[in-house]
Amino acid sequence: MTTSTFLAPVTVDVGALAPEDVVAVARDGAPVVLSEAALAAIDLARAVVDELAAAPTPAYGISTGFGALATRHIPTEMRAQLQRSLVRSHAAGSGPEVEREVVRALMLLRLSTLATGHTGVRRETAQLLAALISHDITPVVHEYGSLGCSGDLAPLSHCALALMGEGTVRDATGTLVPAAEALAAAGLTPVELAAKEGLALINGTDGMLGMLVMAIADLRRLLRTADIAAAMSVEAQLATDRVFAPELQAIRPHPGQALSAANLVALLADSGVVASHRGPDCNRVQDAYSLRCSPQVHGAARDTVEHAATVAARELAAAVDNPVVLAEEGRVESNGNFHGAPVAYVLDFLAIVAADVASISERRTDRFLDKARNHGLPPFLAGDPGVDSGHMIAQYTQAAIVSELKRLAVPASVDSIPSSAMQEDHVSMGWSAARKLRRSVDGLTRVVAIELLTAARALDLRAPLQPASATAAVVALFRYSGIEGPGPDRHLAPEIETAVQLVASGAVLTAVESVIGELA
């Protein structure tokens, strides 16, 4: 994927990046530019580093070794080698290649920290990192290597290696090439790292934070889509919508719950299916929990996502490095801000959210398939039950994914393996938490897509009763996209994949909002 010439550059300043900036650079290929204020802050911090580097007193990260080797004073003539050795030795990742969007987010967030003027790099080093992003040169980063404390050392080291013209990258066409070749083709010159720069480039929580920001964006969309799926299930299973009334939500005032319930009310507002059994003689006031409690579960998930967003916003405003330059005071101080615990915890929280929302979605789907519970629909929604199996195995697929999501919900952040000769004796495992959350978000997308697929078929089977205009828009989108309605069995996997793409792209949400306006 090449950088789009139609995207305006994201300005990296001394202030915090917005989450949408991260998504624009990581996923949409937006270029970046360092502001004049950022360059001034970088220059000011670099002057402090240069002064300390020239002083006879050792300064950690500038004229000493690192980690457990910090007691050795490094003479001036060996400091360039010190920086090269640091990056080369720490670029020790292994395993599958990490996704392009993750690496771009990681580079952007490291650049954002450099722009704060607390790291001490030279402006040409920061500008080269910005140029790699803008030229869509993506270093190869591997799955394994980060403990989430001293930040994402191995992943960031692979990026720093590319700045030195070493290692392997993917160019703008996605081709795997040596870093030196890609830089030369883009008219860029590798940098020779000076004092403090190697450490400044690799000592941050940028990978896990980038994955958190993107997961939050995905989950906000997915939770609104899950409300759509729940509404379609409530509707097609002849459940009551009375339990979603705002006065009932008000007596348990969780904000996410109220928003989710409001969405359900709006989605079902003009449903002919619901109207067919709504009235004083309706005795459907005790629907199954998976239907009745959808706002409570989806709402709790929303509130958790917003807590994670608060943490992400604080991290986006942070300068994560060790040691940090306090330019106005003319000093460099060691600190523990590189510890990934704040990010790791919420990454784990969100994996729990994904597992539980998927779990309730699968339970709603399963009710469609059981003739004892689906209120008059054919078993498994099959065209000719016995000859046809309908959506029987689609639910198996959901169940397999949900089981996997429950395993992924086991927190990574409660684990810690000491490293660096016991100097780094407690680590966050935040990178691992982020990697499993990405799989969790993908799994939730698939589970919700299958619920929508099944609910759409069930609504067709309720004809001549008419669904709500919002839910009818989803059915129409599916049919327009090549997902057929009820009938004899056919190859189901392609239809599931189409539904997954419609959910992941936001097309389902767009179809609904084009009819009833923006969901909460």
CB atoms within 10 A of CB 71: 9
Contacts of 462 (CB under 8 A, 6+ apart): 236, 273, 377
Using H for helix, E for strand and C for coil, what is the string for 92-157?
A: CCEEEECCHHHHHHHHHHHHHHHCCCCCCCCHHHHHHHHHHHHCCCEECCEEECCCCCCCCHHHHH
Q: Around 497, how many Cα atoms within 13 Å sit in the side-chain half-sphere?
A: 4
First to last CA, the chain: 33
Burial tier of 216 (Cβ tally within 10 Å: 0-12, 13-18, 19+): buried
Strand (E) positions, 61-100?
94-97
**Crossing angle of the two packed helices 493-504 and 507-516, in degrees rounded to 10:** 60
Active site residue 60: yes
Compute φ and ψ for 493, nearest 5 degrees.
-55, -45
Which of 113, 152, 69, 101 lies closest to 343, judged by CA? 152
Query: Cα–Cα–Cα angle for 433, 438, 442, nearest 5°?
Result: 145
Whether the CB-CB separation of 427 and 74 falls below 8 Å is answered with no
CA distance linking residue 176 with residue 170, whole number of Å? 5
How far is it, in rounded angstroms, from Cα 382 to Cα 370? Answer: 11
Three-state SS annotation for 446-479: HHHHHHHHHHHHHHHHCCCCCCCHHHHHHHHHHH
Instruction: Write out the two tokens for 98.
Output: 């990490």
DSSP lists the bridge partners of residue 333 as 324
Residue 473's Cα: distance from chain center in Å?
Answer: 28
Among residues 60, 289, 396, 480, the one annotated as catalytic is 60
Q: Bridge partners of 142?
A: 97
Whole-Å CA distances, 426 to 2, 90, 402, 419: 40, 19, 31, 8
- For 438, left (φ over 0), alpha (ψ -120 to 50), or beta? alpha
Q: Tokens for 187?
A: 């008219």
Residue 315 structure tokens: 């991290």
Active site residues: 60
